[in-house]
Amino acid sequence: MKSGGFTAYNTLTPDQLAPFEPEVLYAYELGTKNELDGHRLRLNGAAFYYDYRRQQVQSAIYDSVYGAVGKIVNAPKSHIYGIEAELDWAPVRGLEITQGVSWRKGKFDRFADLDIAASTAAGHAVTVSRAGQDQGFPHWSYNGSASYRMPVAGYTLTAESDYAYHGALDPVLLGPNFRVHDYWLVNATLTLGQGPWSVRLYARNLFNQHYDLTRNFFLGGIDIAAPGRPRSFGVRGRYSF
């Protein structure tokens, strides 16, 4: 169970202060774990089905003064299902490779939601049934990493890169203006260490991908976005006592 609460990010009207209810989840999962090639290769997989009651979703309510305003609401019944797989592989000494991929899909089974466009045109709240409609979150995600550790003049040098694909986010309850396009992120590190100390050079968002984490709105016509972190470089030191 996920506790209820209040919409805290945007409070303009008394109706927004009405709490959303607790969310209940019945989760079913079937998986397998396998070690192959003399324990150098690990392959895991799972299929899952999530049955929700009162799922907490980002939507909106209609106010006679402000129009449509954002609010977290409850979808009475919905479900999510999908599959995922993970791979860990150490083909040669010092080299480690990990990969992970998942696919998921969610639909509303019963949900009378605010129709933002129709409500704005009519000047009062108009609801629409979302039954059978996709929930709009990314269907595909992928992540992986590769690292190689080698001795260098009595030290240990480790080169590593990790990468991830984020599928498109299409918040169908808010409308097409708030769609977040898919994107890739790549990071890299180079670490030199010996015993209790190490020095690490790192690069985040190595290819300077421009992307938004989320898009939303406060009032109709006042759209906002949370941009992702741009490319950055740095150095870190560590000493363990």
Full-prediction pTM beyond 0.85?
A: no
pLDDT over 80 at 14, yes or no: no
In this structure, the dihedral spanned by the alpha carbons of residues 55, 59, 65 and 66, taken in order and rounded to 10 degrees, is 140
Under DSSP, the state recorded for 195 is T
pLDDT over 80 at 179, yes or no: yes
Give the rounded percent of residues in the chain with a pLDDT score beyond 90. Answer: 66
Between the two ends of the chain, the Cα-to-Cα distance in Å is 41
pLDDT at 100: 98
pLDDT over 80 at 13, yes or no: no
Contact between 227 and 211 (Cβ < 8 Å): yes
In the Cβ-directed half-sphere of 26, how many Cα atoms lie within 13 Å?
A: 7
CB atoms within 10 A of CB 16: 20
Contact between 2 and 50 (Cβ < 8 Å): no
In terms of pLDDT, which residue wins out, 182 or 11?
182
CB atoms within 10 A of CB 219: 14
67: left (phi over 0), alpha (psi -120 to 50) or beta: left
The C-alpha atoms of residue 99 and residue 87 are separated, in whole angstroms, by 5
The C-alpha atoms of residue 235 and residue 48 are separated, in whole angstroms, by 40
pLDDT at 225: 85
The position carrying tokens 């992986």 is 144
pLDDT bucket at 9, cuts 50 / 70 / 90: low
In the Cβ-directed half-sphere of 156, how many Cα atoms lie within 13 Å?
A: 12
For residue 241, the one-letter residue type is: F
pLDDT at 147: 97
pLDDT in tens, 127-169: 999 999 999 999 999 999 999 999 998 899 999 999 999 999 8
- Alpha helix segments (H runs only) across 68-210: 116-122
pLDDT at 195: 85
218: left (phi over 0), alpha (psi -120 to 50) or beta: alpha
Residues 113-136 have a mean pLDDT of 91
pLDDT at 10: 64
Residues 13-30 have a mean pLDDT of 89
The C-alpha atoms of residue 187 and residue 199 are separated, in whole angstroms, by 17
Residue 40's φ and ψ, nearest 5 degrees, are -90, -15
- 84-106 burial, b at 16+ Cβ within 10 Å, e below that, comes to bebebbbeeeeebebebbbebeb
pLDDT at 44: 97
pLDDT over 90 at 38, yes or no: no
